[in-house]
Structure 1
Amino acid sequence: MTKTKLFALMGASTLGLMMTANAVYAQQSGYLSFLIDNGPQSVAVAEAWVAAYTEKNPDVTIDIEVRPGGGEGDNIVKTRLATGAMADVFFYNSGSLFQALNPAQNLLPLTGEAFQANVQDSFKSVVSAGGEVYGAPFAPAMGGGIFYNKPIYEELGLEIPKTWDEFMANNEKIKAAGKTAVIQTYGETWTSQVIVLADFFNVLAEDPQFAEQFTANEAKFATTPAALRSFEKLQEVHDADLFNADFGAATYPDGLRMVAMGEGAHYPMLTFGIGAIAETVPDHIQDVGFFALPGDSADKNGLTTWMPDSIYVAKTTASPDLAKDFVSFVASPEGCDIRNEAVGATGPYMIAGCELPADVPPAVSDMLPYFQEGGQNAPALEFLSPVKGPALEQITVEVGSGIRPAAEGAALYDEDVRKQAQQLGLAGW
């Protein structure tokens, strides 16, 4: 039995052995609560997993709770953990935001679970603390860059840009044709960060030591030209008047619909959006392509990559064995197949035995070469440094709205990360 309910938090601020698809699981019984974000693909795949698991285990009931994304969702997760009211199992970020959850205090270790033998070490490294592994991947790896509308590119005879100048030249041609060149969706503030975050491959290409020096408080966004350039790119697309008229109110689902249906040509986003496009506007999934956020040199063109978000078990769960069994089901080839069926293939999996179907959408095909031998990719900053300031999405809304210039936004973010680094007790801050 499954029901999906909207979770509202009173008083919260607005924020080994290879498992196969034929694995036999010991039948379970009991109750779990399962907290997820409200993205269309998260809801669709969570419901599919729960339906499949409870079909195998008819004496199990799993209730799905849905929270907002972005800063509001972060506040709900942290508040529920701090008050001992967290759901038994929940989705959340890996990397730097995971570290801020105080995992040793709040999460159940999953280090010794059999399914971990099939999880890539590169993923386990971003959900580990104090020698314990706390999470499992519930999605494929991702890239950050630009979704683009293929029919618009074909209509206007545009080439995939390898440099920022080429990208901006394409935007001017699109604007001259009377079309929206760059979609922004600040109605959900987390989406405003993508240009800055997805530019990190280009930061490392120019300054390979930036992440290490940033963590040690020896480099800043405002005073490192390559890092400041990320904020400048966001300001440039605003100042060129390239956005949809409703960019301040439009939401993430609006942005995906617009780029898929040709209401706009470009949408800066992470590739997990491919699943949401397949779920919400499936007739247009073939119309969406993807390319990495361009830098200033065609010779250094590459992709900023994100490890998947993770599924965790709260230490307060009353059903730890059942919770771990459900996580092992999610992190199995069968779980991957269910995800593929529910929301389509969106990128390379981090679990051995998980395969992509032959007929992946164009945006997935466009992304895969960056991960293959000879391709160029680099992790996002949040996987190389534990420091990520919580106010970035508000700062990028201001820069992207013309309220605050890029240099001022970068300096404000440097101050924001200083507070976070001090909370984490990092040396040098």
Structure 2
Amino acid sequence: MKRRTIAISVLAATAMALGACSAGSLGSSDDEGGGKVTLSFLTDNQPETVKIAEGLAKDFTAKNPDITIKVETRPQGTEGDNIVKTRLSTGDMTDVFQYNTGSLFQALAPAKNLTAVDGFTDRLDENFAKTVTADSKVYGAPFGNFMAGAILYNKDVYAKLGLQVPKTWDDFMANNAKIKASGVDPVIQTYGETWTSQLFILGDYHNVEAAEPGWADKYTKNQAKYATSPAALAGFQHLQQVHDEGYINKDFASAKLTDGLNKLAKGEGAQYPILSAMLSQLIADNPGTENKIGLFAIPGSDAAKNGLTVWSPSAVYMPSSTTGDKAEAAKKFLDFVASADGCASQAAASQPTGPFAVKGCKVPDTVPQAVKDMQAYIDQQGGSSLALEFLSPVKGPALEQICVEVGSGIRKADAGAKLYDEDVKKQAQQLGLEGW
């Protein structure tokens, strides 16, 4: 996913239209004189992104009347990436801009093209800070919310059967047995959209890191593999186990994301390993389910180390081409974005789909129960870890197909892990990584 494989899949699943840059998006606005400054702010053109950006601009100016923020847009995806990189390289970037974190951020050559920040870094969630740090310097303020790779579950089914949220895989499988006996499908799988097959692997990374600290670094250096690491192999084994025990829905091979979400909402299936961002679609398609669907982390082997695997939000950056009065104004804006007032502004513009990456910022009481469940993991010391894609650039393109085979009983877990190790080898060599 360090070209955000999962994130790109989500965009494809939600069918967001890509638009063109706004007419005014070439070049930054000039200072207005009289001590007033106007900053240009480039974001992607996803509707919720624009709403949040415009809300931040309005609320910031209300507190800083001498600084005006003008929001401009660019396409999403590869086209948008190329626009950002081109404008940075030519010194034609807007005064501030919103962009990805993690490896895509690293690809911007931050030391050369961006300005480091330091006034608010102590407020940043540790997981987020890692995704905008280069050479020990922090460059971005969080824009949006964390997303999790987790298990959404039907709270009514759990309550009817007297089940507790599992903190170990054994507890999870014991729940599955009781759920199956009640006539409900324990685990929903939707291989009709292959990207959804990956969550037992990708959402399990917190457990891998908890068992083998620093695994991602070893993996990047070709010193650790899925097939030979018990903690990493467990994800493939879990995928095989729920199939072999008959705990998945009969139509798993053809069912699609919408089918899975609806099945969960109606209580026809009890649990669905999926990205938390899909909660929005579930609620939109099934009104009144906001508090009927909960969320828990994919269980591992140690209840004491149970925690959530999270995907970082994007960030707002200041390019090195922003100087003088504009630079001072831009620093104030990023400080606002990374503050309690900034969180409140974003929440007012668009209902949060996950926790904020600023310490002390809580989601409103009006958010769905699953988002509140996520917040509890973020608040817990050691209760969350970044997804592997934020810690390593290595991810093979065939993972979703391999997961479908393992989850369908076509290929055994150990064989699937070995095949994936070969798949990532090709990609690592293309990236020119040492040790491959």
Alignment TM-score, normalising by the size of structure 2: 0.72
- 1:8 positional shift: 7.2
Specify the alignment match of 2:428 in structure 1.
421
Specify the alignment match of 1:7 in structure 2.
18
Whether the aligned pair in 1 keeps the contact of 2:297 and 2:309 (CA below 8 Å) is no
Whether the aligned pair in 1 keeps the contact of 2:43 and 2:53 (CA below 8 Å) is no
* Letter paired with 2:237: E
Map Cα deviations across residues 250-287 of structure 1 (whole Å, 9 max, x no partner): 13x55444433434211113444455556665521110
Map Cα deviations across residues 319-377 of structure 1 (whole Å, 9 max, x no partner): 99799887666544344224334554455422256333355543244344434456644
Change in CA separation of 1:212 and 1:165 when aligned onto 2, cut-off 3 Å: same
Specify the alignment match of 2:413 in structure 1.
406
Change in CA separation of 1:183 and 1:393 when aligned onto 2, cut-off 3 Å: same
Specify the alignment match of 1:250 in structure 2.
256
- Out of 56, 60, 72, which is 1:62 matched to? 72
Specify the alignment match of 2:235 in structure 1.
230
- 1:114 positional shift: 5.6
Specify the alignment match of 2:369 in structure 1.
362
Change in CA separation of 1:354 and 1:405 when aligned onto 2, cut-off 3 Å: same
* Letter paired with 1:28: T
Map Cα deviations across residues 143-173 of structure 1 (whole Å, 9 max, x no partner): 4321100011122332322332332333343
The CA distance in 1 between the partners of 2:193 and 2:183, in whole Å, is 26
The CA distance in 1 between the partners of 2:249 and 2:113, in whole Å, is 44
- 1:231 positional shift: 0.9
SS at match of 1:195: helix
The CA distance in 1 between the partners of 2:263 and 2:88, in whole Å, is 38
Change in CA separation of 1:317 and 1:193 when aligned onto 2, cut-off 3 Å: farther
Specify the alignment match of 1:382 in structure 2.
389
Specify the alignment match of 2:144 in structure 1.
139
- 1:27 positional shift: 6.3
1:306 counterpart = 2:315: no
Change in CA separation of 1:50 and 1:296 when aligned onto 2, cut-off 3 Å: same
* Letter paired with 1:357: P
Q: How high is the sequence identity, in percent, across the aligned residues? A: 42
- Out of 281, 284, 289, which is 1:284 matched to? 289
1:351 counterpart = 2:358: yes
SS at match of 1:125: helix
Change in CA separation of 1:414 and 1:285 when aligned onto 2, cut-off 3 Å: same
The CA distance in 1 between the partners of 2:336 and 2:111, in whole Å, is 22
The CA distance in 2 between the partners of 1:209 and 1:114, in whole Å, is 29
The CA distance in 1 between the partners of 2:399 and 2:112, in whole Å, is 26
1:203 counterpart = 2:208: yes
Change in CA separation of 1:229 and 1:323 when aligned onto 2, cut-off 3 Å: same
Map Cα deviations across residues 88-131 of structure 1 (whole Å, 9 max, x no partner): 74543x334544xx221899414138665643455232223345
- 1:230 positional shift: 0.8
Whether the aligned pair in 2 keeps the contact of 1:292 and 1:301 (CA below 8 Å) is no
The answer to which of 229-238 and 301-310 deviates more is: 301-310
Whether the aligned pair in 2 keeps the contact of 1:260 and 1:285 (CA below 8 Å) is no
The CA distance in 1 between the partners of 2:316 and 2:170, in whole Å, is 42
Specify the alignment match of 1:17 in structure 2.
none
Map Cα deviations across residues 370-409 of structure 1 (whole Å, 9 max, x no partner): 3445664444333444433344334323433444432232
Larger Rg, first or second structure (1 or 2): 2
1:28 counterpart = 2:38: yes
The CA distance in 2 between the partners of 1:396 and 1:232, in whole Å, is 11
Specify the alignment match of 1:21 in structure 2.
none
- Out of 42, 47, 52, which is 2:51 matched to? 47
SS at match of 1:213: helix
Unaligned runs of 5+ in 2: 1-14, 21-34, 62-66
Whether the aligned pair in 1 keeps the contact of 2:19 and 2:45 (CA below 8 Å) is no
The CA distance in 1 between the partners of 2:410 and 2:319, in whole Å, is 43
The answer to which of 368-377 and 199-208 deviates more is: 368-377
**RMSD over aligned Cα atoms:** 4.3
Q: How many residues align?
A: 393
The CA distance in 2 between the partners of 1:374 and 1:406, in whole Å, is 32
SS at match of 1:265: strand
Whether the aligned pair in 1 keeps the contact of 2:188 and 2:271 (CA below 8 Å) is yes
SS at match of 2:308: strand
- 1:224 positional shift: 1.8
* Letter paired with 2:43: F
Specify the alignment match of 1:18 in structure 2.
none
Whether the aligned pair in 1 keeps the contact of 2:115 and 2:320 (CA below 8 Å) is no
Specify the alignment match of 1:181 in structure 2.
186
- 1:221 positional shift: 0.4
Specify the alignment match of 1:217 in structure 2.
222
Map Cα deviations across residues 62-107 of structure 1 (whole Å, 9 max, x no partner): 3464x5xxxxx5x555565677799974543x334544xx221899
Specify the alignment match of 1:336 in structure 2.
343
Whether the aligned pair in 2 keeps the contact of 1:205 and 1:300 (CA below 8 Å) is no
